[in-house]
Structure 1
Amino acid sequence: MSSSPGIKPREHVDMMYISIETAIALASVLGNVLVVLVVCVNRALRNTTFCFIVSLAVADIAVGVLVIPLAIIISLGFSTQFYTCLFLSCLLLIITQSSILSLLAIAIDRYLRVKIPTRYNIIVTHGRAYVAVFLCWILSFLTGLVPMIGWNNRDALGNLSSSDEIVCEFTTVIRMDYMVYFNFFGWVVVPLTIMITLYAEIFRVIRRQLNRRAEATCDGDRYYRKELKLAKSLALVVFLFAVCWLPIHIMNCIDFFCPKCHVPKFAMYVGIFMSHVNSALNPMVYAFRIKRFRVTLVQLVRGCILCKHSEPTPCRTSTPALTEKADGNL
């Protein structure tokens, strides 16, 4: 098989990996663009929780637009300068880190909503939610760019000049102790542990409130039932994140703590594939688990994407009656 200059001939497993990654990228971009559009269309969804969900959707769109193409490019093993390759690798870390911080923000938001329901709207305003989203992305940039300020493999590669080129691979420029101790233990395990603790407390509080039916009003009972359904959906998003991301990090740990252990290339590709497919799964969770999201999504698809040119009236992006009806349902 012929190849472009500077690119190694592709193995069959590599080509399969590139094909699957391309399909995931398209699904991720399409699904998460629809998430953003649904929130824009339905005013009832423009609350603080969906503000964080939009932030997560933007991160997942970036996975499809930037992370996956960059991962494919890096997998091709092209030659470039060290810091160019390092910067491209850091972009992958920044965008993926923003996903878990958005999930953490969602968990904290839901915890406050059930823990202090009477003061929630006073404490968690839209302005503060926007600040929290901004801080999530700033923190993602700061943690993702740590290798750029010295925690990298430049010294291990010998005396490289600024003009020297290397074969650009993620593990060539990113140190594995950074990936294991800082990225995984510090910025994956810790946030996931906090989220699991928060959702466990959320379910405990909701169950306790629902068990007090004799003391609770109908409105209170309805409030906590809605919160329980939404909490289950968002907890499922966290569970899928853990299932999709832990394999690649576990393989990194094996590679770091057991250098003699061989991780097959196919297994590594499956791990990368699972971490990226997570971005395409989130819109499906919203669509199947959150009724008001699903109603607006169906309305959007029917009214705009599938509208026929023969219809005399233009497509409407929202229907007030439907929006009001959707607001009362999950």
Structure 2
Amino acid sequence: MPEELSNCSLCCCTMTYKILMVVFMISLILTILFGNTLTLAVVFGTKHFHSPQGYLKASLAVADLAVGIFVVPLSVYAEISLMISNSKPEWTVYNSQNITFHPCNVIGPVFAGCTLVSITTIFLLTIERSIAVLKPLHKESVITKKRTSILIIFSWMGSFLLATSPMVFSNEIALEYNSCSRMCNYALRSTDFPSQSWHILLLFPAFDFTLLGGTIVINFISLTTIRQHSKRRKHLAETESQSAMKPTFSDIKAAKTIGTLTLAFTMSFTPIAVFVIGNVFGKEWCTFSFFAFWILTTNSCCNFIIYGVRDQKFRNRAYQLLIYTHLNNVPKT
């Protein structure tokens, strides 16, 4: 990235804009930490959520929590350093060779890996709910805690292997602190197009959109089945044996919640995919990259909000935990 663009994107903003940006980032950190810690407390502290679906929600919360702990604070540090000293930390300088350890070599794969874990987990949640809706009698035998735990482990391993693959398989790809997005991003060392490594960077949007496409199709089938079931229930008097072959109300509610999660992630990830494709073709899109990456990051605090709105049991349990914590912190007289 040219130095002029870097300087412009970081230094030409007014101090008020910079302060608002830092306030936004810090608020995002606190929201991510609070929401996902609360989600983990609900899942692990409530017997009802000790289920395959609960394990998957916990995995999603851990991925979101990692973004709030590792990814966003580095951006806050870079912005505050610039505000205080009016000079960029050395590791944020494009292609700097004077540092022994570059934080982006860790933070970049963490952000990419957690993003891949999120979409993989949403895909697994969709599969789990589709079986509960389409094959309710087989749900208990097909979806087990052990199988779900194994799938979660493989999803984390596979996601982080894919996240580090650009650095492993190509010397033309580097991790740098992008002055436009205010995050650690993968970038091509060469500005010439076509680069020999462009196809490696396209692995991320290709993988994510493949899973998202499958997730959307499965959600569509599940929701269509739910709609047909609702119509039959209104017009037909079902026998007890027929009812046993239908999904329960909680399964239907959970399927709709997963559909909402899928929609939210698709909307937040699409700008990133557009940016990556444009970046491969040599487009900078500085302002667009900032909004694209931070919309995706904001998604890390949306999942627990969706649970709270859509899942009454989750909402009630979270409320109980908050009230219990508040009462324990009240000084006794």
TM-score range, shorter chain: 0.7 to 0.9
Aligned to 1:215: 238
Structural mapping, 1:157-176, within 5 Å: 168-169=177-178, 170-171=184-185, 173=187
- For structure 1, the 5+ residue unaligned runs are 1-6, 158-165, 313-330
Please tell me whether the aligned partners of residues 56 and 152 of structure 2 are also in contact (alpha carbons under 8 angstroms): yes
- In structure 2, do the counterparts of structure 1 residues 74 and 172 end up closer, same or farther at CA, with 3 Å as the change threshold? farther
Is 1:269–2:290 an aligned residue pair? yes
Match of 2:210 among 187, 190, 195: 190
After superposition, where does 1:3-18 map in structure 2 within 5 Å?
10-12=11-13, 16-18=20-22
Identity of aligned residues (%): 22
Do residues 130 (structure 1) and 149 (structure 2) align? yes
Count, aligned residues:
292
Distance 1:269 1:253 in 2: 15
Distance apart, 1:67 and its partner CA: 2.0
> Aligned runs of 1:70-109 on 2, under 5 Å?
70-72=74-76, 77-78=92-93, 79=96, 80=99, 85-109=104-128
| In the alignment, structure 1 residue 246 sits paired with structure 2 residue 270 | yes
- Secondary structure of the residue that 1:145 maps to in structure 2? helix
Distance 1:248 1:14, change over 3 A: farther
Q: Which of the numbers 251, 255, 277 marks the counterpart of 2:279?
A: 255
**Cα distance between partner residues in 2 of 1:285 and 1:171:** 28
Output the amino acid matched with 1:215: E
Say whether 1:230 aligns with 2:251: no
Which residue of 325, 328, 332 maps to 1:304? Answer: 325
* CA positional deviation for 1:306: 4.3
Match of 1:54 in 2: 58
Q: CA deviation at 1:262?
A: 5.0
CA 1:168–1:291 in 2, change beyond 3 Å: closer, same or farther? closer
- Per the normalisation by structure 2, the TM-score is 0.77
Q: Which moved more, 1:301-310 or 1:46-55?
A: 301-310
CA deviations 1:67-117 (Å, max 9, x no partner) are 223455678515435876444322221121111111111011111111221
> Partners in 2 of 1:46 and 1:172 — Cα distance?
38
Cα displacement string for residues 196-233 of structure 1 (whole angstroms, at most 9, x for unaligned residues): 01101111222233333323549649844332222111
Write the distance in 2 (CA, Å) between the matches of 1:167 and 1:210.
Answer: 52
Report the counterpart of residue 29 of structure 1 in structure 2.
Answer: 33
Check 1:88–1:308 CA distance in 2 against 1; reply closer, same or farther (3 A cut). closer
**RMSD over equivalenced CA pairs, Å:** 3.0
> Aligned residue for 2:4?
none
**Would you say 1:205 and 2:229 are equivalent positions?**
no
With 138-147 and 72-81 compared, the bigger mean Cα shift is at: 72-81
Classify 1:223/1:216 alpha carbon distance in 2 versus 1 (closer, same or farther; 3 Å).
farther
Give the drift of 1:180: 4.8
How far off is 1:303 after superposition? 1.2
Q: 1:42 aligns with which of 36, 43, 46?
A: 46
| One-letter amino acid of the structure 2 residue matched with residue 297 of structure 1 | A
> What TM-score do you get using the length of structure 1 for normalisation?
0.78
Q: In structure 1, give the amino acid aligned to 2:38.
A: L
